[in-house]
Amino acid sequence: MLKFLTRTRGRSRLDWTDWLSYAYLFVGLFTMFAPIIWLVMSSFKTESAISLFPPTFLPYSQKSVEVQGHDKPLPLYLTKDAQGNVRPMAQVRRIGIMATMVDPASPGEEIRVNINDRKPINEITFALGNYTELFGKFNFERYLWNSVFITVVATLLTLLINSMAAFALSKYQFRGQKAVFMLIIATLMIPPTIILVPVFLVINTVGLLNSLWGVILPAIATPTGVFLLRQYMLTIPDELLEAARMDHASEWRIYWRIILPLAAPALAVLAIFSVMWRWNDFLLPLIVLSKSEYFTLQLALNSFQGELNTQWHYLLAMTVITLIPVTLVFAFLQKYITTGIASAGVK
Amino acid sequence: MELVSRLLGGFFNLFEPLFRAGQRWLGFSRLGWLFVAPNLIVFGLFTFLPIVINFVYATTGGVKLYPFDRPFTGMENFGILFECRDYFDIRTCRKDVFWRAMINTAQFSVIQVTLMVGFSLVTALVLNRKIIGRGFWRGVFFYPVLLSPVVVALIWKWLLQTQGVFNAGLVAAGSTPVNWLTEAHWAFSWTVFVSIWAHMGFYTLILLAGLQAIPKEMYEAAEMDAAPPWRTLTRITLPLLMPNLIVVLVLAMIRAVQIFDEVYVLTGGGPGSATTFIVQFIYQTGFAEQIHLYGLAAAASLVLAIGLMALTIVQLRITKASSAGQRAR
């Protein structure tokens, strides 16, 4: 085992710089993932457990039992009675510092003890209710649907119109082509943050305020997408197109049946990026969608956490759900993302 | 599957006649315009037109949204932003929050970018060594990059709240709890830390790609000469990585100046205006406050645009200079 862990590539043994490197990496692993694991564990805590201080790592909550003669389950405590015997008992009620306890085995007999003489019995329970109660209770399915709708529709449109532009810019020679390409690339230098007010005006004027389309349309043309796809399409041989034209294929058919299938790898990279941009988008939805029925998950999370009595057990569950799609993308498509970044330098 | 292919086929049929007609009408070579048209319309409507209108907003006053309803005020908006009785004391400025936001943004960008690129460089150098499971480790640092800013902010808000795990640690160590997010210095430091945590994986990736592009022969030659590792680093690795490093620095700077989402959710810009940055000022002036001062917001975004333009020019000049330098070598 030790031999496996300490093996190196090429060299015979680990020297101190290797140990230092691995130490650094493990510190990194902890720093990057401990907060996320803590979040996930916390999201399974019950409402009462989540407000406990100091917090525990595992989601503990107090055990409770059904006792005959009481319609609700009663919380269990390890109780020291008058004789000094310690046994688990359920609490019927508590007044001041005195609690009335009952033995679940013999429901008839009740005793009164000082609350310092009893200790709660905890067990590990995963409060799945935090997740299931989101649906129905907070209009959560609405937010989820809005986010999914925006992400899917915007990604499809992004793929379509950017690949069309990339096709024209890579496979045609027309007057003004260079200028169009430069113009599109130049928009890379204009981040949305500096044209926030006029973009709001345009969206308002075309009547898309408080509409999911108002979030979808303004960003479906992306210079990154055009650039990425154009570079890829340049590698598709022109002979293929010529052959198709010989057979009297229309230009749209050439684009749809030849170029798009061949550009699939680049389209996949753009699709992944688009999904992440859209799913995580915040500033544009924030100014366009002000009615809560149009909120995306990100907006819902933001407005939830801003409320006075933040219900952390629901908020954390919602946060975990929001990071699931991105985590799946990361787990299965990491390679595409890293190549995308390496080749286009974009995020 | 059947349904999807029928849908796609239908979509294809929808556009084919349009493009056939377009070809007859425009001729073959100009058909390209038809293909770029949707893109150009979207860019025109949501990027180029807004650039022009931004100037209109910046030079007009009032609270009306429609440009024609707004009275022309010339440079008054900029005057309001920059007016101070005493320029050595920002509390005397008419828009002290704007000045606060500018100073915060400058401080934040310098500190965050320096630390983040430093950490990214160290991480990339470590990952470039002969390491078992490099792909895994790279993924470890990259994962937070994919998280949404809101999620990032909530993760840390949960850890940093008064009853949170950090304070539990402090109490366990016999110290007193700290209000991490409501004490100005701590809040600012945490915005820096959280944004580094969330973004460093991206820059690590670019730097790692740069490191792996350095020819192996260079290192072999250094080994032949029995050069100590430190000298190899300072004489080979860093000089050859310089172009990537500069790109990363400027890119990180451009992003840092526009910091908004994470901080807005994490601290809301507070306490007071200790973590209010320039984009948040724009958002609040134009959209969040009772009276929407679009003109002032547009003027502030032009100030931001000038800053970003300066950074971009610096980037272009340096990359040009360094690529020329490489050719000379």
- pLDDT per position as a tens digit, A49-59: 777 777 878 87
Identity of the amino acid at A248: H
Domain annotation covers residue B68: no
**Residues B149 and B224 reside in one and the same domain:** yes
Q: Which of A228, A232, A236 is nearest to A184 (CA)?
A: A228
Give A93's DSSP letter.
Answer: E
**Which residue of B39, B66, B129 is in closest CB contact with A161?**
B39
Residues contacting A257, CB < 8 A, separation 6+: A244, A249
Interface A-B, measured as beta-carbon pairs within 8 A, has a size of: 281
The pLDDT score that the predictor gives to residue A191 is 85
Mean pLDDT of B16-25: 84
**Do B44 and B127 sit in the same domain of this protein?**
no
Predicted confidence (pLDDT) at residue A206 exceeds the cutoff of 50: yes
Q: Which of A154, A303, A140 is nearest to A214 (CA)?
A: A154
Q: In this complex, do A169 and B282 lie within 8 Å of one another by their Cβ atoms?
A: no
Residue B239 is assigned to a structural domain of this protein: yes
Looking at the domain assignment, is residue B75 inside a domain? no
Write out the residue range of the structural domain in which residue B277 sits: 85-328
> Domain for residue B118, yes or no?
yes
Residues B31 and B153 in one domain: no
Could you tell me if A218 lies within 8 Å of chain B, comparing CB atoms? Answer: yes
Interface test with A, best of B47, B180, B223 (most A CBs within 10 A): B47
In a domain, B196, yes or no: yes
pLDDT-derived band at B38, boundaries 50, 70, 90: very high
Domain match, B122 and B230 both: yes
Residues B38 and B108 grouped into a single domain = no
Same domain flag for B54 and B89:
no
Chain-chain contact of A326 with B54 (C-beta, under 8 angstroms): no
The answer on pLDDT for A96 being more than 80 is no
- Pair (B29, B133) in one structural domain: no
From A262's Cα to the closest Cα of chain B, the distance in A is 16
| A contacts of B52 (beta carbons < 8 Å) | 198
Token readout for A224 is 């990154």
How far apart are the CA of A140 and the nearest CA of chain B, in angstroms? 16
Mutation test of the interface with chain A: which of B154, B165, B181, B261, choosing the one with the most A Cβ atoms within 10 A? B154
- Residue B245 and residue B145 in one domain: yes
Residues 218 to 277 of B: which have CB under 8 A from any A CB?
A: 229, 247, 251, 254, 258, 260-261, 264-265, 268
Paired with A93 in beta bridges are A100
Contact A323 B251 (CB under 8 A): no
CB neighbours of A29 closer than 8 A, spacing ≥ 6? B137, B140
pLDDT for residue A226:
92
CA dihedral A83, A87, A93, A95 (to 10 degrees): 40
CA distances from A234 to A237, B39, B48 (A): 8, 19, 27
Q: B56-60, B64-68, B157-161, B191-195: lowest mean pLDDT where?
A: B64-68
Q: Which pair of tokens denotes residue B5?
A: 């292919």
E strands of chain A, at which residues?
60-62, 64-65, 74-80, 86-95, 98-103, 106-114, 118-120, 122-124
d(CA B139, CA A25): 11
**B67 in a domain, yes or no?**
no
The residue out of B41, B58, B75 marking a domain boundary is B58
Q: Do B145 and A198 touch (CB under 8 A)?
A: no
Q: Domain for residue B74, yes or no?
A: no
B168 CB near a chain A CB, below 8 Å? yes
Domains held by chain B: number: 2
Rg (CA), chain B: 26
Tokens representing B147 are: 């998280």
Residue B267 lies in a domain: yes
Q: Are residues B166 and B298 in the same domain?
A: yes
Tokens of B179: 């209000």
Residues B91 and B50 in one domain: no
Based on the fold, state whether residues B140 and B224 are members of the same structural domain: yes
Chain B neighbors of A251, CB-CB under 8 A: 19, 23, 28, 31
Residues 40-99, chain A: which have Cβ within 8 Å of B? 42, 51, 53-55
CA distances from A27 to A16, A137, A258, B165, B168 (A): 16, 40, 49, 18, 21
Residue B227 CA to residue B230 CA, distance in Å, equals: 8
**Does residue A50 contact residue A312 with C-beta atoms inside 8 Å?**
yes
Q: Is the pLDDT of residue A126 over 90?
A: no
Q: Best mutation site among A9, A195, A205, A245 for testing chain B: the one with the most B CBs within 10 Å? A: A195
Q: Do B312 and A172 touch (CB under 8 A)?
A: no
Helices (H), B183-292: 184-212, 216-224, 229-232, 238-257, 261-266, 278-283
Res A256 pLDDT > 80:
yes
Own/partner long-range contacts of B6-15 (Cβ < 8 Å, ≥24 apart):
B12/A252, B12/A253, B12/A256, B15/A252, B15/A256
CB-based contact, A202 to chain B, within 8 Å: yes
User: Of the given ranges (A9-13, A302-306, B205-209, B300-304), which has the lowest mean pLDDT?
Assistant: A9-13
Contact B140 A189 (CB under 8 A): no
Residue B329 has pLDDT above 50, yes or no: no
What is the interface pTM, i.e. ipTM, of the complex?
Answer: 0.86
For B19, the closest of A28, A250, A283 (CB atoms) is A250
The 10s digit of each residue's pLDDT in B217-266 is 888 888 888 888 888 888 888 988 988 888 888 889 989 999 999 999 99
Cβ-Cβ contacts under 8 Å for B2 (sequence gap 6 or more):
none
Q: Give yes or no: residues B159 and B247 share one domain.
A: yes
Rounded-to-integer distance, Cα B26 and Cα B24, Å: 6
Q: Identify the burial level of A118 via C-beta atoms within 10 angstroms of its C-beta, where 0-12 means exposed, 13-18 middle and 19 or more buried.
A: buried
